[in-house]
């Protein structure tokens, strides 16, 4: 019966009604075959064919009736999925716009803080080598080496340079935070949209 899925439903219904009707007409004609001159010689054939058409028609009518509800439910489900897909696309556009706005705001804040460092932190003070080593260890999420106590001297890293690097790193952290929040919101929203499809 899989081949019926390629034929429009209306055609299938008309064909099934036609087969069933031919079976009934053939059965009636076969019953009166002895009184009709041309058909009387083929009466048994007409009755056999009519019986087969009637049985096939009954089977197909039952099949069509049984699957019509399934086909309607499948069509309704398909429409619901199309609506959900459209809602998901609209939600994606809205979320992408909001994410871009939040990231642009974060970048603007980072840039403003970096400019403020350049403008207001004019100290030429240089960090100690131990301070730089501690910063580098912290930025890599590692413990400082056990030899930290033996590190002496002054590095070439100035306080404004360190503050600029830290400010940029914080900015990157907040950008990543915005992306993570957006992804979590996206997942929750998409789940709600597609869970609504019944």
pLDDT at residue 168, rounded to an integer: 94
The total number of structural domains that make up the chain: 1
pLDDT in tens for each of the 198 residues of the chain? 556 566 676 777 777 778 778 778 777 776 676 676 666 666 677 777 777 887 888 787 777 777 777 778 888 888 988 999 999 999 999 999 999 999 999 999 999 999 999 888 887 888 888 888 888 888 888 888 887 777 888 888 888 998 999 999 999 999 999 999 999 999 999 999 888 887
**Residue in the structure block whose two tokens are 């809602």:** 87
pTM assigned to the model = 0.60
Structural contact between residues 106 and 175, judged by C-beta atoms closer than 8 angstroms: yes
C-alpha 40 chain-centroid distance:
66
Structural domain harbouring 113: 2-195
**10: which 2 tokens?**
């209306």
Q: Which residues pair with 128 in a beta bridge?
A: 154
Helices 43-120, 159-195: crossing angle, 10 deg rounding = 160
């Amino acid at each position: 019966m899989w081949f019926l899925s390629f034929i429009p439903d209306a055609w299938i219904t008309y064909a099934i009604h036609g087969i069933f009707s031919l079976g009934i007409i053939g059965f009636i004609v076969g019953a009166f075959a002895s009184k009709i001159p041309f058909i009387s010689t083929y009466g048994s054939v007409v009755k056999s064919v009519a019986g087969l058409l009637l049985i096939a028609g009954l089977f197909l009518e039952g099949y069509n009736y049984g699957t019509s509800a399934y086909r309607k439910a499948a069509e309704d489900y398909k429409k619901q999925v199309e609506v959900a897909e459209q809602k998901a696309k609209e939600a994606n556009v809205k979320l992408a716009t909001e994410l871009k706005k939040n990231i642009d705001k974060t970048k603007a804040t980072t840039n403003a803080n970096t400019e403020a460092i350049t403008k207001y932190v004019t100290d030429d003070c240089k960090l100690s080598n131990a301070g730089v080593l501690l910063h580098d260890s912290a930025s890599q999420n590692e413990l400082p080496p056990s030899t930290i106590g033996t590190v002496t001297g002054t590095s070439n890293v100035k306080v404004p340079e360190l503050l600029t690097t830290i400010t940029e790193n914080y900015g990157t952290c907040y950008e990543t935070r915005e992306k993570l929040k957006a992804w979590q919101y996206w997942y929750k929203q998409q789940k709600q949209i597609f869970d609504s499809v019944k």
